[in-house]
């Protein structure tokens, strides 16, 4: 089955700096790669996703890149704000198969 690894497990940045979280996956058949943000006491929320036919996708301060050859994808957050502090999860999925998640990254943005 699919195995997703996520790094780093914790990340601390100053407000205004950029943050990058990286994930690798094992199953070359995976074709959908979402990113979730989880705030304390809440369920994960989808913030951005990318499909295997696209190399990069951007939504305001958030961008995701995908390298299919190397089987890795990354989340980039620019101009970080304190409200970006949360746990972020990457995931990988092939069509209707089950989705596998990374172990999560706890991002802290210091004012």
Partner 1 sequence: NAGVTQTPKFQVLKTGQSMTLQCAQDMNHEYMSWYRQDPGMGLRLIHYSVGAGITDQGEVPNGYNVSRSTTEDFPLRLLSAAPSQTSVYFCASSYRGGGYTFGSGTRLTVV
Output the smallest distance, CB 52 to partner 1, in A. Answer: 11
Nearer to partner 1, 20 or 87 (CB): 87
Closer to partner 1 by Cβ: residue 77 or 89 = 89
Nearer to partner 1, 49 or 65 (CB): 49
Q: Which tokens sit at 67?
A: 């390298």
Least Cβ distance, residue 91 to partner 1 (angstroms): 8
Tokens of 105: 């990254």
Do 35 and 90 form a contact (C-beta atoms < 8 A)?
Answer: yes
Which spans of this chain sit near partner 1 (rule: CB under 8 A)? 1, 6, 31-32, 34, 36, 42-46, 49, 89, 93, 95-96, 98-104
Q: Which of 99, 55, 74 is nearest to 7 (CA)?
A: 74
Strands across the sheet with 56-59, in order? 4-7, 19-25, 72-77, 62-67, 56-59
Closest contact distance (angstroms) between CB of 44 and partner 1 is: 5
């Amino acid at each position: 089955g699919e195995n997703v690894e996520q790094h780093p497990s914790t990340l601390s940045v100053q407000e205004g700096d950029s943050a990058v979280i990286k994930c690798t996956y094992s199953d070359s058949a995976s074709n959908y790669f979402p990113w979730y943000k989880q705030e304390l006491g809440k369920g994960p929320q989808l913030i951005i996703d990318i499909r295997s036919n696209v190399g990069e996708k951007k939504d305001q301060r958030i961008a995701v890149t995908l390298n299919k050859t190397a089987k890795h994808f990354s989340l980039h957050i620019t101009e970080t704000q304190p409200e970006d502090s949360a746990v972020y999860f990457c995931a990988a999925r092939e069509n209707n198969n089950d989705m596998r998640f990374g172990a999560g990254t706890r991002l802290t943005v210091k004012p």
